[in-house]
Amino acid sequence: MSSTSQKHRNFVAEPMGEKPVTDLAGVGEVLGKRLETAGFDKAFVVLGQFLVLKKDRELFQEWMKDTCNANSKQSTDCYQCLKDWCDEFL
């Protein structure tokens, strides 16, 4: 596995709670605003979509591209962040 960002490590290190969507790896202010506009204002709401898509990388990345115009790196980082969090807490 490639190295992860500090943001990724911080997110995966603890329960999600009410963290904002911008706490997810790969999601900065611009993508965060786009996700919030689409109704995904908290990390747990994005997690719900991730689970609805059955943790499928391709489907999740396509959803991120369609929903907030995420590029490949952003959607990959977010996918990996949620996958690692699920591996740790679910």
pLDDT digits (tens, 9 = 90+) for 28-84: 999 999 999 999 999 999 999 999 999 999 999 999 999 999 999 999 999 999 999
> Alpha helix locations (H) across the chain?
6-12, 29-37, 43-52, 57-68, 72-89
User: Is 38 within the bounds of a domain?
Assistant: yes
DSSP 8-state code for residue 24: S
CATH of the domain at 65: 1.10.150.40
User: What pLDDT shows up at residue 4?
Assistant: 83
Phi, psi for residue 42 in degrees, rounded to 5: -125, 155
d(CA 69, CA 75): 9
User: pTM value?
Assistant: 0.94
Domain limits at 50?
6-89
User: Is 36 within the bounds of a domain?
Assistant: yes
Confidence band for 2, pLDDT divided at 50, 70 and 90: low
User: Is 1 within the bounds of a domain?
Assistant: no
Phi, psi for residue 34 in degrees, rounded to 5: -65, -40
How many structural domains is the chain composed of? 1
